[in-house]
Amino acid sequence: MKWYLDFGHGGKDSGAVSYNKTKESDTVLKIGILIKNNLEKNNEKVITTREKDLYYSLDYRTYKANKENCDYFISLHMNSSTNKSAKGVEVWVYDEKSKVYNLAKNICTNLSKDINTPNRGVKISKNFSVLRKTKMPSILIEIDFISNSTVENSLKDDTYIKTIANSISNSLLAFVNKSIVDDSFSYCVCIGKFKDKDTDLY
């Protein structure tokens, strides 16, 4: 399977900026690289728009995905609102008939649970360029509201960032009947001779 991961904004376009100057472009890049690594550990092919803080147009993003003949297009964003209490995950698709409609629902459900944020559900739009101009099934994920001070503070925690990335990765991999590789285990090998077979090793 070949995934196109689109990390929103970048370079001169920072996207939404929080009260304490946390940039949407930096946040989704950090999360996106972790998702990329998770997919690649499962032998999935991944193409990205960017892996540094660089600007690329919307047309370039869809052009590159189409040229690479990717199977799925995943665009990562952080939401923002003048209502500073707004909070929650939502995922946008082109229409309800989209092949990735159920994937969008699963991402909302899983991410809402994993980072304890409201599930705002799947939303439909034919106006988003990355949904309209891609030849492959596409989704746009609004992870949470960077304008919310609680969310902004959480984004400073690397464990929280990893939880977001793992949640999205798990949903993507489950969609293609795979599961995330857990490389957090360590192993201990004990070698030696013991006269008493009941000797405690630990």
Kindly report the CATH number assigned to the domain that includes residue 78: 3.40.630.40
CA angle (158, 162, 163) in 5-degree steps: 115
CB contact set of 5 (below 8 Å; sequence gap of 6+): 32, 35, 36, 39, 46, 47, 48, 49, 74, 76
Residue 180 counted as domain residue: no
For residue 36, name the pLDDT band (cuts at 50, 70, 90).
very high
pLDDT greater than 90 at residue 104: yes
Query: Residue 79 belongs to what domain range?
Result: 2-175
Task: Report the range of poorest mean pLDDT among 47-51, 141-145, 170-174, 194-198.
Answer: 194-198
Which residues are 47's β-sheet partners?
Answer: 4
SS3 119: strand
Number of domains within the chain: 1
For residue 196, name the pLDDT band (cuts at 50, 70, 90).
low
**Model confidence pLDDT, tens digit, residues 64-97:** 999 999 999 999 999 999 999 999 999 999 999 9
